[in-house]
Structure 1
Amino acid sequence: MAQFIYTMKGLGKVYPPDSVVFRDIYLSFFYGAKIGIIGSNGSGKSTLLRIMAGLDEDYLGEAVLSQGYTVGYLPQEPELDPTKNVWENVNEGVAEVRALLTRFDEINAKFAEELSPEEMEKVLEEQAAVQDRIDAAGAWDLDSKIEQAMDALRLPPPDADVTKLSGGEKRRVALCRLLLQSPDLLLLDEPTNHLDAESVAWLEHFLKEYKGSVVAITHDRYFLDNVAGWILELDRGRAYPWEGNYSSWLEQKQQRLAQEEKAESRRQRTLQRELEWIRMSPRARQAKGKARLNAYEQLLAEETAGKIERTEIYIPPGPRLGNVVVEAESLRKGYGDTLLIDDLSFTLPRGGIVGVIGPNGAGKTTLFRMLVGQEKPDAGTLRIGETVQIGYVDQTREALSPDRTVFEEITGGEDEVQLGRRTVNARAYVSWFNFKGRDQQRKVGTLSGGERNRVHLAKLLQRGCNLLLLDEPTNDLDVDTLRALEEALLEFAGCAVVISHDRWFLDRIATHILAFEGDSHVEWFEGNYQEYEADRKRRLGAAAEQPHRIKYRKLTR
């Protein structure tokens, strides 16, 4: 086998007439390397993966998979066979191995026949050869492995019709199929999207132990920290490889920015604050979260101009919060004959930032709909304070006009934007969300998922509110925008409730965790995600290590 599994020489991609995506990439990947690709939305990350997968052949230079190696690719919108159910689609990934098991059974059946010595020798030779291949593939307990992977990734039931699955469910089925296929080179485009935090942790461990090479586009920074041995950053048409994980990459990135930008920029200061957080001990991080709860008045009193200058994204505060923000007592909510939430009680303090976690379909968005009054609890009380003004950023992103430019969609075409009691230059405001120069003139209909998410956030964060509800704001966002959003929330003089599976994001911002743990139980915990995880393992023991499909109690009225 060749020393390198994949080689790029002078690789470039240009869209006519002169739009350069990237150029002059010279890279070689060792077998077994784990590489995380990062860069802003639109920097060419997905294009690079499509070239590596052999799906895009319109490029400059060379991109070569070494002979004898296999490649597998998970796109952002994978395709499944509509004529097959979930189990049958997943089994496509192990068709070759299952054929070996079938052949082994056929060979064993031959021993019941009358065979000549020569025939017996041939059958024994083939049995030994097939057995060696099954041993090498570790396939004797194949069905058990499939079931374990399906459970860990929380796939729909095996007999489910794939044409009726959501986009997220289809991605999980396709990811499961690909992981079981075990190609030499795994290419993953945002593999953690639509996975809850527990399933991401399982995937992280799986890929860390994976024998082949892994190249993954991801914004999940714990994933980049714990799995990646290399970081490949795409920035303004260039590729910058870095040997090390995300934390070490961040250090050199700050140094590179300092050399490029003489005056200390807001972006440099944002990077510096994330580095400071990385270097903190767990106890210091916990103290920082507690300090926020005691600093509400201080946050409110800070001068707006100073915050706008200090942060990349600024969220204007609404009116001063009273003593009551949100209080839930013995809350109960069902859907159909399924009990989603049972006996939930909590009090959200002023300045609190709540991370809401749990599998898809567990009831997280239903909780948000109750908070904004779109649904009512079946039992118990949910009290919203009189001074609370809610700003709700939902998952749909459908209210965007595809024919308007980014600038028009965010600002309404005005020269200035009103942020609370302060006006800001409209072009400058749009640039905070990583739309700079001619990017502001792009049509909304041409944007990627992450870019649409940024437009959506920019529109809704202009409104003065004191309780922000954010439903999966981290999906499809690039690392730079995620970092800026974290800073904005930490500086926000109000409360936020955030549905997210991004563990790094939750560790940096959350003062509390609201966890949908299954069996209709929702756990309210004071602390960030890591502290919650430690508590969950203490409560549940060994059962906490392996994610399972979520179960609910039946609704009895």
Structure 2
Amino acid sequence: MQLVAQGVTFGYPGRPVVDGLDLAVGPGDRIGLVGENGAGKSTLLGLLAGRLHPRSGSVRRHGTLAVVEQDLAVTDEDTVGTLVAATGSATRAAADDLQAAIDGFDHAGGDVAALSAAIARYEHLAAWDVDRRVDEGLSRLHAPRDLDRRLAELSVGERYRVRLACRLAERADLLLLDEPTNHLDAGGVAHLTAQLRAWAGGLVIVTHDRRLLDDVMTAVLDLDPSMDGRPVLYGAARYTDYRFARDQMLRRWRARYRAERKRARVLAERLDASYEGLSDEWRPPKGSDPHRRATRARQHVKAADRLIERLEAQAVDVPVPPPALQFPDLPSVPPGYAGGPLLEVRGPRVTGRLDLPGRRVEVMPAGRLLVTGANGAGKSTLLAALVGVVGLDRGTRDVAAGVRCGVLAQEGPAERVQAPDGAAPTAFDAYARHALDLLAAGALDPDALVPVAALGLLSEADLERPLRELSLGQRRRFDLACALLAAPHVLVLDEPTNHLSVGLVDELTAALRATSAAVVVATHDRQLRADLADWPHLDLGGSDRPA
């Protein structure tokens, strides 16, 4: 076994995260880690990697470990070459060990088993080929290859791709990845998928990518609550099989919960009825009919109390289920709409980022547009140009009078908003601040505001927490809520599935297909592209083709 976790429990003050988790990962096991945003997926990965320490239980690892988390801490001196050199030194250690074993081997009575193990290790790591593997990984993942480039100057996605390429080249016994497809285009995902399917060691991967679950995983570990309150390991190797099994479990769970609650209500009504007529102010004479009725009433109360106690002892302790997305009813056109496109750009050019000479991109009422292309092809720039966030060096942009846009960018309000006094705002305060900013900019109709609590994206407890304490996925939910705040006529979504749970992605996909608003989506998510394959499609080129 590469990893064995037994009875692992961990939490933050007032917020348990992992409780009594058991998990074993051996060679060839590929575990997909899923769950609602804030369920503790990244926290669990930190526990398995040893970055966090459980409050109880244990995590044992055997062999070499490679980890690629979402956040990569770097110093000003770190460069691409720093990571490449570290990768080469780790694998070349196997070559050094083999050479030492050969040089010190006693042909008369040496340890043949130890020598054979050193040879097998060297061949497994293929240390002679590590430089080529790193270079291929950087190229196939479209990561910077200039060894002198400082990591601090790269984007989050570029830093992630450099780290991922190096970790894949190491061929570690245990590989832990956090949302590896978030920063990859289709070509990069295809390379990653091939590498993971051939991985000889154990894998644990946090992912929202439904196609990756289908193509790679041998099992799915779901951190969402179950009937007994513990995570569930589903042996299903396909996403649809996992979802079917989980939905069946939820139906049984909710049916039992409803039956228990119904029984509790009946007994509570019986208890209320039993208490009626009792009074502490006056007792009728002993032996009279009123006295006997009062005595029987007290006996009924005691019997009802005992029944309720037994019911509570046998009742199912059901945690509050994750809220379902309640997508608002969005308008399709503004008042006084005179016809024509709601948004339009013609021949847009943003120097060094986008150039579409002679192209016209328009968004009609209730229209749909799917934008694809390789990393760097200009998808995000085009979307920013459509909504007026980025100015054009050439071309024109037109917007119909009164049109409101809801924008989900890759970096949303959750990453930018701050309280006026510099304190950490709660999610609710940040939402209110975003509403005031839109109102000041004339981009919000106060009568059409969408309350964040009505969306089912964040719980009341989450809304009262500081934004910086929310998980990356919860902050992404907050950004989606901000995009819907103004009841937009046009929704413009850049990589909307990034960091969202697989369940929410399914719900959001259905909502985008059904809404009356116009929708523009830029994505590299293979399953989302398949789900939206009947939409008008703008391909900006590069290698981003469905795998």
* 1:443–1:430 distance in 2 versus 1, CA, 3 Å: same
CA displacement at 1:460 relative to structure 2: 2.9
Secondary structure, aligned partner of 1:61: strand
Residue 246 of structure 1 pairs with residue 239 of structure 2: yes
Q: Report the equivalent of 1:512.
A: 536
Larger Cα Rg: Structure 1 or Structure 2?
A: 2
Q: In the aligned structure 2, how far is the partner of 1:31 from the partner of 1:505?
A: 31
Residue 356 of structure 1 pairs with residue 356 of structure 2: no
Q: In the aligned structure 2, how far is the partner of 1:327 from the partner of 1:132?
A: 61
Is residue 37–residue 218 contact of structure 1 (8 Å, CA) maintained in 2? yes
Out of 72, 87, 91, the residue aligned to residue 93 of structure 1 is 87
Residue 230 of structure 1 pairs with residue 224 of structure 2: no
Is residue 316–residue 419 contact of structure 1 (8 Å, CA) maintained in 2? no
Q: Report the equivalent of 2:271.
A: none
Letter in 1 for 2:183: H
Secondary structure, aligned partner of 2:168: helix
Percent of pairs identical after alignment?
Answer: 29
- The structure carrying a bigger strand percent of its residues is 1
Is residue 8–residue 25 contact of structure 1 (8 Å, CA) maintained in 2? yes
How many pairs align? 453
Is residue 317–residue 420 contact of structure 1 (8 Å, CA) maintained in 2? no
Out of 156, 167, 176, the residue aligned to residue 178 of structure 1 is 167
Is residue 486–residue 505 contact of structure 1 (8 Å, CA) maintained in 2? yes
Cα deviations by residue, 1:257-314 (Å, 9 ceiling, x for unpaired): 212224999xxxxxxxxxxxxxxxxxxxxxxxxxxxxxxxxxxxxxxxxxxx996322
Q: Report the equivalent of 2:252.
A: 259
CA displacement at 1:139 relative to structure 2: 4.2
Out of 464, 467, 474, the residue aligned to residue 441 of structure 1 is 464
Residue 335 of structure 1 pairs with residue 328 of structure 2: no
Secondary structure, aligned partner of 1:8: strand
* 1:383–1:231 distance in 2 versus 1, CA, 3 Å: same
Q: Report the equivalent of 1:14.
A: 11
Q: In the aligned structure 1, how far is the partner of 2:503 from the partner of 2:38?
A: 13
* 1:53–1:367 distance in 2 versus 1, CA, 3 Å: same
Secondary structure, aligned partner of 2:24: strand
Out of 24, 30, 34, the residue aligned to residue 26 of structure 2 is 30
Letter in 2 for 1:243: G
* 1:447–1:19 distance in 2 versus 1, CA, 3 Å: closer
Q: In the aligned structure 2, how far is the partner of 1:247 from the partner of 1:168?
A: 29
Is residue 258–residue 264 contact of structure 1 (8 Å, CA) maintained in 2? no
Q: Report the equivalent of 1:114.
A: none
Q: In the aligned structure 2, how far is the partner of 1:431 from the partner of 1:378?
A: 41
165-174 vs 134-143, greater mean Cα deviation: 134-143
Is residue 4–residue 24 contact of structure 2 (8 Å, CA) maintained in 1? yes
* 1:12–1:142 distance in 2 versus 1, CA, 3 Å: closer
Letter in 2 for 1:62: S
* 1:354–1:413 distance in 2 versus 1, CA, 3 Å: closer
CA displacement at 1:238 relative to structure 2: 1.9
Out of 417, 422, 437, the residue aligned to residue 399 of structure 1 is 417
Secondary structure, aligned partner of 2:540: strand
Q: Report the equivalent of 1:221.
A: 210
Is residue 11–residue 24 contact of structure 1 (8 Å, CA) maintained in 2? yes
* 1:430–1:163 distance in 2 versus 1, CA, 3 Å: same
CA displacement at 1:367 relative to structure 2: 1.5
Q: Report the equivalent of 2:35.
A: 39
Report 1:303-382 matches (<5 A): 312-319=326-333, 322-329=339-346, 331-335=347-351, 340-382=355-397
Q: Report the equivalent of 2:499.
A: 476
* 1:154–1:507 distance in 2 versus 1, CA, 3 Å: same
Q: Report the equivalent of 1:5.
A: 2
- Unmatched tracts of structure 2, length 5 or more: 259-322, 436-443
Out of 57, 62, 80, the residue aligned to residue 61 of structure 1 is 57
CA displacement at 1:104 relative to structure 2: 10
* 1:249–1:376 distance in 2 versus 1, CA, 3 Å: same
Is residue 433–residue 455 contact of structure 1 (8 Å, CA) maintained in 2? no
- Unmatched tracts of structure 1, length 5 or more: 111-117, 266-308, 520-531, 535-544, 546-557
Cα deviations by residue, 1:396-426 (Å, 9 ceiling, x for unpaired): 4213546333334335799xxx9997788x5
Cα deviations by residue, 1:162-187 (Å, 9 ceiling, x for unpaired): 23112221111111121111111111
Is residue 343–residue 362 contact of structure 2 (8 Å, CA) maintained in 1? yes
Is residue 90–residue 176 contact of structure 1 (8 Å, CA) maintained in 2? no
Letter in 2 for 1:155: A
Q: In the aligned structure 1, how far is the partner of 2:52 from the partner of 2:20?
A: 17
Is residue 100–residue 130 contact of structure 1 (8 Å, CA) maintained in 2? yes
Q: In the aligned structure 2, how far is the partner of 1:61 from the partner of 1:406?
A: 33
Letter in 2 for 1:324: P
Is residue 316–residue 463 contact of structure 1 (8 Å, CA) maintained in 2? no
Out of 439, 453, 456, the residue aligned to residue 476 of structure 2 is 453
Q: In the aligned structure 2, how far is the partner of 1:142 from the partner of 1:254?
A: 44
Residue 162 of structure 1 pairs with residue 151 of structure 2: yes
Q: In the aligned structure 2, how far is the partner of 1:156 from the partner of 1:423?
A: 43
CA displacement at 1:219 relative to structure 2: 0.8
Q: In the aligned structure 2, how far is the partner of 1:468 from the partner of 1:50?
A: 35
Letter in 1 for 2:198: E
Over aligned residue pairs, what C-alpha RMSD do you find? 3.9
Q: In the aligned structure 1, how far is the partner of 2:324 from the partner of 2:136?
A: 47
97-106 vs 30-39, greater mean Cα deviation: 97-106
Q: In the aligned structure 2, how far is the partner of 1:422 from the partner of 1:409?
A: 19
Is residue 324–residue 457 contact of structure 2 (8 Å, CA) maintained in 1? no
* 1:430–1:419 distance in 2 versus 1, CA, 3 Å: farther
TM-score, structure 1 length as denominator? 0.71
* 1:375–1:217 distance in 2 versus 1, CA, 3 Å: closer
Q: In the aligned structure 2, how far is the partner of 1:218 from the partner of 1:201?
A: 15
Q: Report the equivalent of 1:73.
A: 67
Is residue 312–residue 484 contact of structure 1 (8 Å, CA) maintained in 2? no
* 1:383–1:423 distance in 2 versus 1, CA, 3 Å: closer
Q: In the aligned structure 2, how far is the partner of 1:24 from the partner of 1:419?
A: 49
CA displacement at 1:347 relative to structure 2: 4.7
* 1:421–1:516 distance in 2 versus 1, CA, 3 Å: same
CA displacement at 1:40 relative to structure 2: 1.3
Residue 151 of structure 1 pairs with residue 139 of structure 2: yes
Is residue 330–residue 517 contact of structure 2 (8 Å, CA) maintained in 1? no
Secondary structure, aligned partner of 1:35: strand
CA displacement at 1:136 relative to structure 2: 3.7
Q: In the aligned structure 2, how far is the partner of 1:128 from the partner of 1:238?
A: 43
Letter in 2 for 1:70: T
* 1:79–1:403 distance in 2 versus 1, CA, 3 Å: closer
Secondary structure, aligned partner of 1:87: helix
CA displacement at 1:472 relative to structure 2: 3.1
